[in-house]
Amino acid sequence: MEHYFSEKPTSTPKKHRFKTRIRNHDIIIDSSSGIFSVKEIDFGTRLLIENAKINGKEVLDLGCGYGIIGIAIKKMNPDINITMIDINERAISATKKNCESNNVEATILKSDIFSNPQLRNKNFDTIITNPPFSAGKKVCFKFIEESSKHLNKGGLFELVAPHNKGGESLKKKMIEIFGNAGELVKKAGFRVYISLKK
């Protein structure tokens, strides 16, 4: 069965284009079936972008989908270097197209979490993610565990989730891995959690 986190979606893509405004930036997104949140930006994603704390120059959008987090964060923080990665080939093609049409320079890589060789020795100052709940808790836990290995000291890990539908366990995992986890914002059942790499 095909999911938004399939590596190679095979269904004929049903294309969709939408425009969104985030913190005074107009962004046009070309999305399609087989990618997360086809019709419009996800509520949790927007909450994460609008409340994200950016620390340092190297920023990673982990599980970038069609690229909305990385594109918006780069527009809001033009001096950063943004890297965007996803396991889904269709999502990676959409991210490349969307970066081009929104004039965003980024490093875009297909990668199963950090498996891409270009990421082996690469560390970040901030890692931001709306994790793939539908892929299961094990994958979401791996997002947290692997991110801690690719963060510089003093770096930030930020994740959005519905608190009572799995988010609480992700926050606990962040405490286990980083030794700390706070909350940047909570709204409509969603929370943005943040951990500091010590």
| List of residues contacting ligand SAM (CB under 6 A) | 4-5, 36-37, 42, 45, 63-65, 68-69, 85-88, 91, 111-113, 130, 132, 135, 139
Determine the Cα–Cα distance for residues 186 and 172; give it in Å rounded to an integer.
Answer: 16
Q: What is the residue whose two structure tokens read 């930030």?
A: 156
CB of 198 to ligand SAM, least distance (A): 25
Compare residues 64 and 151 and give the one whose CB is closer to ligand SAM.
64
Min CB(64)–ligand SAM separation in Å:
5
Q: Of the two residues 76 and 139, which places its CB atom closer to ligand SAM in the complex? A: 139
Smallest gap from residue 96 Cβ to ligand SAM (A): 14
Pick 7 or 180: Cβ nearer ligand SAM: 7
171 token code pair: 């926050």
Q: Decide if 8 contacts 34 (C-beta within 8 A).
A: no
CA distance 54 to 138: 27
Buried b (16+ CB within 10 A) or exposed e, 135-147: beeebbbbbbebb
